[in-house]
Chain A
Amino acid sequence: MSNWDISRLRLLMESLVSKDLKVRYKRSALGFGWFLLKPLFSMIVYYFVFTRILRFGGAIPHFSLFLLTGLLPWNFFSSSLSASTSSLLDNHRLIRSIYFPRMSLPVAEVLANLIHLVLALIVLEAVLIIFGHTPGLSIVLLIPAVLLFTVMAAGAGMILSIGNVFYRDVKQFVEVLLLAWFYASPIIYPLDSIGVNIIESPRLLQVLRFNPVAGFMEIMHSILYAGTWPAAWCWVSLSAWSAVFLIVGSAVFRKAEPVVVKEL
């Protein structure tokens, strides 16, 4: 095969990501602003539900800011997964008429979302500082945490994109899965990162920690909201799950790739 060296691959990824961003905001009046507006809207909804109706949010000071520290990364994760799920199928003609590393398709979707996440986090950090949540030294850990989480999303995206070629149900399934996953993750509630105990049963806490995204969400709460050092279990969980998703994802992708090309 014609040589796909690093520089060529990098250019391909850049082009795919910039295409994704351009296409997404063509003919959209608010354009790039949506990357902030979407989490902001959902924050407002959750804020009212969990402080006015269910009322547990009252236990957490600046609950709206706490929500954002979880909602932004979750938005990144869920839109990465939904976008990469259909990435192979949407490009079937391209895949069948020219050779290029196909893994770039799901990964480009994740990277396009990562750009949004990074921009949104910068804005969020500014807001947090204004409201007195000055970050501690632990903020340096933000970069490795986000990178590991991106790896996890990419690995999951690879598996889902392949699955969706064989069974179109995967796309539907992902939507349902994401809904359940959202409530099972410490996004709208903390586990033990900010010193507020919402979950009383230690057994349930143990179970919830096993969730692949729990570690990352708790890291975000610790670093951004509480300004403390994240607990060790979070790092163990995040690194282990990221490694698992990356290894399984790329193995599945490589194994299925020659078959998928013929199935598309």
Chain B
Amino acid sequence: MKPGAILMENVSLEYRLYHDRAVTLRETMLNVFNRSTKTELFTALDDVTFGVEPGEALAVIGANGAGKSTTLKLLAGIYEPTSGIAETGGRIASLLDLGVGFHPDLTGEENLMLNGSLIGLNRNNMKDLIPEIADFAELTRFMDTPVKYYSGGMFMRLGFSLATAVDPDILLIDEVLAVGDARFQEKCYERIWNFRKKGKTIIFVSHDMNAVSKLCTRAVWLNDGRIKKDGEVEAVLSEYLEGVRSKHDAAAVSPKEWGTREVWFDSVTIRDVSGTPAGIFKNGEKIVVDAVIKTRLPGTVNDVVFGFSLHRPDGEIIIGTNNLEMNEPLLSFSESTEAGIEITLDVEEPGSYILGLALTDPQARKDYHWQEFFYPITLLDARIDPPLRLSNVTWKQC
């Protein structure tokens, strides 16, 4: 294969999906008898064929679960196709998950040496490149600091800087460009632009249609693992956006989840004020949202905005706000933190509503985790309970 060329020929990839997966031997033994574990073959990619010429910039777009990331993982060599041929020519740099090989106890420089060998740099290369990588990440001063003391942004910056330090023929990018602050993001885009100008092949997966149309010349639209459309970027994008809009009306309220998951809702419980999990609330009753929030970034993640929304079943948003908007303090999370919101509502119109939650960092333009249309709740009128209440009573003796 020519360096920079890609060929996917009739590629299919199947996963085994476990419903209630048996993780221990005991469970497996039990399941042998009652056969309750259902495994199901899930086709992530179904007979996908496309070729990319060296120097092309191709966007892969589609809804969540359409097979975009799977495509990148196939091209990166992480997955092997169940059937078909996936071939790439030349050296690949994959920006699928930044800084993932970093060990928290090792310093920046030690981590660069270790991870450089993973992406295929030799030692001399690495010695020359380290100052450059540190400089681009703006972390020269911190090279001898263990990376567990880095902020989330610093960590990602170093990851990006390393991943793009090799001179690849093919660059695979999976929505990792929410790196650091706005200025650093500029820098990242600039570097990627330079790769384009140098005639490197770029495969770009993103939900940011703006970025897609700027960077790419061609787009492949995946839908349920199949190619729906492959062609010039503007044409594919407009058709895709059209499709999204019409679909939005039809299935307005199916639960949706997205985000970088650097910080995520590990579990959420909706309770009433006594602490019992509940789904029905009376007018004026406090709705308590208890969440366990975890992060995979090292150290503490600061300045997190925790928001919520309430939608009507037809998808119309009624309320949506967050701690930033309400001038409440921003939140900080480390490895696993419990956080919550207490909401008191004045109900004008009783009925079913759907609560959504979000963790974001608007300053860094990051969506960590959104759960929209996620938690159905029922709101009731201010029912008076008991049905009678003493208003006033006096005793007289005549």
Residues of A in contact with B (beta carbons under 8 Å apart):
1-2, 4, 7-8, 11-12, 14-16, 18-19, 22-23, 26-27, 93-100, 167-169, 258-259, 261-263
Q: Quick check: B103 and A8 within 8 Å, CB to CB? A: no
B104's closest neighbor in chain A, by CB? A23
Q: Quick check: A261 and B78 within 8 Å, CB to CB? A: yes
User: A15-B113, A96-B78, A98-B78 given as contacts; is B120 within 8 A of A2 (CB)?
Assistant: yes
Q: Quick check: A97 and B78 within 8 Å, CB to CB? A: yes
A12 to B110, CA, bound (A): 13
A7 to B16, CA, bound (A): 36
Q: How many residues of B contact A (CB 8 A)?
A: 36
- The 9 sampled A-B contact pairs (Cβ below 8 Å) are A11-B122, A14-B117, A23-B106, A26-B105, A26-B106, A93-B100, A98-B76, A169-B25, A262-B15
B168's closest neighbor in chain A, by CB? A2
Q: Quick check: B92 and A2 within 8 Å, CB to CB? A: yes
Q: Quick check: B101 and A98 within 8 Å, CB to CB? A: yes
Q: Does B394 contact A (CB under 8 A)?
A: no
Q: Quick check: A98 and B100 within 8 Å, CB to CB? A: yes
Majority secondary structure of chain B interface residues (helix, strand, loop or mixed): loop
Chain B positions within 8 Å of A4 at CB level: 120
Q: Quick check: B15 and A99 within 8 Å, CB to CB? A: no
Q: Quick check: B117 and A11 within 8 Å, CB to CB? A: yes
Chain B positions within 8 Å of A97 at CB level: 78, 94, 96-97, 100
Selected from B76, B80, B105, the residue in CB contact (under 8 A) with A258 is: B80
Q: Quick check: B91 and A2 within 8 Å, CB to CB? A: yes
Majority secondary structure of chain A interface residues (helix, strand, loop or mixed): helix
- The minimal Cβ–Cβ distance linking B72 to chain A, given in whole angstroms, is 10
Q: 6 closest Cβ contacts across the A-B interface?
A: A99-B77, A97-B97, A15-B117, A169-B25, A258-B80, A97-B96
Q: Quick check: B113 and A23 within 8 Å, CB to CB? A: no
Q: Quick check: B79 and A8 within 8 Å, CB to CB? A: no
Q: Does B250 contact A (CB under 8 A)?
A: no
Q: Does B73 contact A (CB under 8 A)?
A: yes
Q: Does B192 contact A (CB under 8 A)?
A: no
Chain B positions within 8 Å of A96 at CB level: 73, 78, 96-97
Selected from A93, A100, A167, A258, the residue in CB contact (under 8 A) with B25 is: A167
Q: Does B392 contact A (CB under 8 A)?
A: no
Chain A positions within 8 Å of B105 at CB level: 22-23, 26-27
Most chain B beta-carbon contacts within 10 A, residue among A14, A261, A262, A263: A262
Q: Does B28 contact A (CB under 8 A)?
A: yes
Q: Quick check: A22 and B106 within 8 Å, CB to CB? A: yes
11 further interface pairs, Cβ-Cβ under 8 Å (given A98-B101, A261-B79, A263-B16): A1-B88, A11-B122, A16-B114, A93-B97, A97-B94, A97-B96, A98-B76, A99-B78, A100-B118, A261-B78, A262-B79
